[in-house]
Amino acid sequence: MEKIVSRTAACLLTLLLFVNLSFAQTDINWLRSIHSNQSRNADGIMKGISNTHYAVGFCIPAGELIYGFARHDKQALYNGIQTLAGIGINTVVTYGIKHTVNRNRPFIDHPDIVPYEYYTSNSMPSGHTSFAFSAATSISLQYPKWYVIAPAYLWAGAVGYSRLYLGVHYPSDVLVGAVVGAGSAFIAYKGQQWLLKRKTKQANGARVE
* pLDDT computed for residue 208 by the predictor: 45
Quickly state the pLDDT bin for 5 (edges 50, 70, 90).
Answer: very low
Considering the entire predicted model, what is its pTM?
Answer: 0.86
- Enumerate helices (H) and strands (E) in the chain, giving the number of each: 8, 0
Average pLDDT of span 191-200: 86
* pLDDT computed for residue 117 by the predictor: 85
Answer yes or no: are the C-beta atoms of 16 and 97 closer than 8 Å. Answer: yes
* pLDDT computed for residue 78 by the predictor: 93
Q: How far is CA 199 from the centre of its chain?
A: 29
Backbone angles phi, psi at 114, to 5 degrees: -110, 105
CATH architecture group of domain 2-201: Orthogonal Bundle (1.10)
Look at 161 and 37; give whichever has higher pLDDT.
161
Q: Whole-number mean pLDDT of the chain?
A: 86
* 70-124: pLDDT as tens digits: 999 999 999 999 999 999 999 999 999 999 989 999 999 999 898 888 988 999 9
* pLDDT computed for residue 6 by the predictor: 55
184 pLDDT more than 60: yes
Q: What angle do CA 124, 186, 57 make, to 5 degrees?
A: 65
